[in-house]
Amino acid sequence: MSAAVQDSNRATGAAALLLLLLLLAGGAAFAGISVLETKQLELNALQTQLDNLTRRRPPSSSSEAETKISVQPFLAEENFALAANALQRRVVGLIEESEGKLLTVGVDPPITGDEELARRVSVQVTAELTNEALQKVLYELETAVPFVFVETMGVIRKQTDDETGNAETQNEPRLSISLNVSGYRRKGSQ
């Protein structure tokens, strides 16, 4: 009899354990479904907000093509001479705007034989600037479009009148600078 009672207790324990596992699985499924329903409600609410904001947006008068911002990284001129002239005017203009003294300016001749190197336009400049003016010139060269690169730069502090014994004082020392600035024409330009 004790074996029958033990078998009955095992069967009852197994049935209770199975029932407990089924209840846990059902509870987990119910919790999972309610989480999914909550996420679906949040998504619907966000979609409704987006639709309301879209309706409130004023109509745009310009086309999509006009609203896109385009950066032209290359020199826009069609041939080497025009591109060199534009780059030279840009560098000289920056120096003059900064109240610098332009000493010399020149253009490197185009490189022939290599298509990639032939697109490169280089300008050399020698000028006298203050430290602040040099910073402005370099900032404008490096941040404005079309993109240009300062290939080489040499800076020498010029001797002031105070250092030579004269009584005149100067607020900011003058710098003698030498720049080699390069830009590139668009591929396919002559």
Percent of the chain past pLDDT 70, that is, above it, reads 86
Are 41 and 101 members of one domain? no
Asked if the model's pLDDT at residue 109 lies above 70, the reply is yes
* Domain count of the fold of the chain: 2
pLDDT score at 162: 60
Q: Which domain holds residue 12?
A: 1-57
Is 173 a member of any domain? yes
Are 44 and 98 members of one domain? no
Are 28 and 113 members of one domain? no
Is 16 a member of any domain? yes
Is 40 a member of any domain? yes
> Of 186, 183, 190, 176, which Cα lies nearest the Cα of 91?
183
Is 160 a member of any domain? yes
Are 109 and 156 members of one domain? yes
pTM equals 0.57
Is 53 a member of any domain? yes
Query: Of 111-115, 117-121, 133-137, 156-160, which one has max mean pLDDT?
Result: 133-137
Return phi, psi of residue 152, to 5°.
-140, 150
pLDDT score at 164: 55
pLDDT score at 57: 75
Residue-wise pLDDT tens digits, 39-85: 888 988 888 888 887 877 776 655 555 555 577 788 888 788 899 99
Are 27 and 97 members of one domain? no
Are 122 and 161 members of one domain? yes
Q: Looking at residues 17-46, what average pLDDT do you find?
A: 88
pLDDT score at 163: 57
Kind and range of the H or E run holding 43: helix 2-56
Are 47 and 138 members of one domain? no
pLDDT score at 167: 44
pLDDT score at 29: 87
Say if CB 98 and CB 125 are below 8 A apart: no
